[in-house]
Amino acid sequence: MGRVVDPSVREDGEPEPDFQAAPSHGQLEPAAPAPVTTDAEAESASAEQAGDRMSPGSGGTASDSEPASPSFTPESAASDRTSRVSPADEFTSDRASKSPQPWSDEFRVTTRDRELELIGSEPLRMNAPAAPSVRPEARLSPTWTAVFAALLGLCTVATFIAIAIHVDRRQPKLAEIHKKESPAPSTLASAPPPVVDRRPARTKLPGPWRIHDAETDPSMRIIEGKVGLEPLVKTVEKLGVPLKQFYRVIAAFSKVRPLTNCSKSDRYAVLLDRAKKRIKAFEYLTGPEEVFQAKEGADGFLSVQKLDLQVKQARVSSAFVVGESGLEAAVLAGGLEKPLLASMREALSGHIALEEVERGTRVRVIAQEITVLGEFARYSGMEALEIVYPGSEHKSERIYYFNGPDSHGYFDSAGRAPYSGGWRKPIPNAPITSRFNPKRFHPILKRIVPHQGTDFGSPTGTPVGASSFGTVTFVGFAGPTGNFVRISHPGNIETGYAHLSRFADGLKVGDKVKRLQVIGYVGSTGRSTGPHLHFSAKRDGKFIDPESLNLDGLRTLDARERPQFEQVKAEYDRLLDAIALPEAPVNKEPPPASSTTVVAEGEEVEATPPAAAESPASAPAASVQGGVASGSNAVYLTDEELRKSQPSADDGEVAE
């Protein structure tokens, strides 16, 4: 509650001094509300103002001696009090009406009186210290949060639906184009024939004691592995073998087979006593047929010996035919082991790749086999083999291993051996018109432009073959290089064939091509001045000189070694002729075309019967401009159209 204060009595009990103020010469302007201050500040301010007005030197008016901004006028104070509805305010106003007029000559209400009256009429409002400004966090309203959550849910559902549709399209759903009764599933595709394994049965012979014979002993621990790149001592230490025990092994092996020169592919086996951490036996294997073993005797010392594994090497010969199951199944059907494929690949390197061997190819081989304790271990190499290619011509090729005074390796019947890779010229016997030259002056652009390939001059339409076997990675028009084919080969090598007039029928990306298989025909498409083939090569993504691949490169035996080679060849020919060659597979007649075409869903097919197709006479004729049919692609132009549309010259240059 407030208190009632008599304006004529001061708070300290002394009577209010009476003084005469000069009458105002005009209506005072309403002053702005005074700021709320504390009692101490208000008292000091009031005292200063009262002192100024009571000073003897003050001769001005009230408006001149007292600023209007910090004080209230009686009218504003009265209106401010009457605007409040508290009982204290009403009581104060009644008392004020009975008192003399504040601006009369008898009495004048000072600023301090007004402040004292306000203390009794309302609680004093104090300005709290300013709090540090904290920027409120930006938060989404609940409505926007719900909207974004709904959108996120819809996107998630749409994603799952799209994935489901994509997976469903990839399913092998079948759709009938012509709704007629389809043939039985057995007539559509016959099951591949079962793989026949004619390998001879082998009986393992009894042999010496090995570390693996102690696998059933719970008191022993077997540790085995490969030597690798680290020293053998560190390798076995990491596996838990005490160094003191392994030094016993090193000392024992020093007299038979020192362990200081170990190959990273060599293997080892340790037999360790679990309780005593003592090595009972140690084996060092350089191969399946060579094992050195250290075994602890009754005296506690390790004795080392090379185990007698009854290793035998023998000549094996057989013949097989490649069927629908592939080359590996054919090897097993011929009574041979799968590792024969590695020996065949080495012998045929440069002549033919195993990926090029087709169905119906017949093979006769003579190889060296190594057995350990009566079981197959590996093939030491191929002595001779014959490849009979399928077809009515029955073309064959024989390869012989020759180890002469100066030369050794695999040679053909003419005594020739291709260089590594067996790369061929894309156009046999074609002349080279421009070689690889990083600083070649371009005949069209008239500036220095690197020539990143080799040009072979040949007439338009000459077949172009793949330089080696590989996979087609690009087929199409490639700007200045014109119609272009790129093939990827083993060893991170790519070859390119540019300016072709057209591609081989059906050639597409992903096709496997054989060595010298036709991939296109010579032309002059792109930035070219005449029909030729631009042949390029890359290794690890960088252009190299194609001639560095030794195209058609063959090394021939010297005349001094010819007589010895002919003797070796005659002996192998006799052995190969003695091997019975299997019959060539009979090509089955293709089944008659059915009126029902079954294709996978999503595959484009021609649903219009041939009879209903539009005849050439009724088809609109294509307009020809400059000898080239408008609307046609250069990929499908004939050689005659290309000759009319391209300028011809005899320099055979290319922009590359």
Query: Model confidence over 399-428: pLDDT tens digits?
Result: 999 988 888 889 989 888 877 667 888 998
- What's the number of CA atoms in the CB half-sphere (13 Å) around residue 162? 6
Cβ atoms of 286 and 263 closer than 8 Å? yes
pLDDT exceeds 90 at position 553: no
| Size (the chain), residues | 656
Per DSSP, the three-state class of 171 is: coil
Find the mean pLDDT for residues 280-295: 93
| 440 neighbors 448 (Cβ within 8 angstroms) | yes
Residue 605 binned pLDDT confidence (cut-offs 50, 70, 90): very low
Average pLDDT taken over every residue of the chain = 74
Higher pLDDT, 77 or 199: 199
pLDDT confidence bin for 23, thresholds 50/70/90: low
Of 272, 371, 258, 358, nearest in space to 312 by CA: 371
Please provide residue 273's backbone torsions phi and psi, each rounded to the nearest 5 degrees. Answer: -75, 120
pLDDT confidence tier of residue 44, bands split at 50, 70 and 90 = low
Q: Which residue has the tokens 């209400």?
A: 109
Residue 480: pLDDT band (50, 70, 90) is confident
Residue 149 has what pLDDT?
Answer: 86
Judge whether residue 251 has pLDDT over 90: yes
pTM score, whole prediction: 0.51
Q: What angle do CA 364, 405, 380 make, to 5 degrees?
A: 40
pLDDT grade for 633, boundaries at 50, 70 and 90:
very low
pLDDT band at 172 (very low <50, low <70, confident <90, very high): very low
Average pLDDT of the residues in 587-606: 42
Angle, alpha carbons 514-515-519 (nearest 5°): 70
Lowest mean pLDDT among 214-218, 477-481, 585-589: 585-589
pLDDT in tens, 523-533: 999 888 889 99
**Is residue 646 predicted with pLDDT exceeding 60?**
no
Look at 101-105, 454-458, 484-488 and tell me which has the smallest mean pLDDT.
101-105
pLDDT band per the 50, 70, 90 thresholds, residue 199? confident
d(CA 46, CA 110): 8
Query: Domains of the chain by range and CATH?
Result: 1-125 (no CATH), 211-306 (3.10.450.350), 312-418 (3.10.450.350), 432-556 (2.70.70.10)
> Across residues 532-537, what is the average pLDDT?
93
55-91 burial by CB neighbour count: b if 16+ within 10 A, else e?
Answer: eeeeeeebeeebeeeebbeeebbeebbeeeeeebbee
Q: Identify the weakest region by mean pLDDT among 77-81, 240-244, 389-393, 543-547.
A: 77-81
d(CA 512, CA 118): 105
pLDDT at residue 191, rounded to an integer? 57
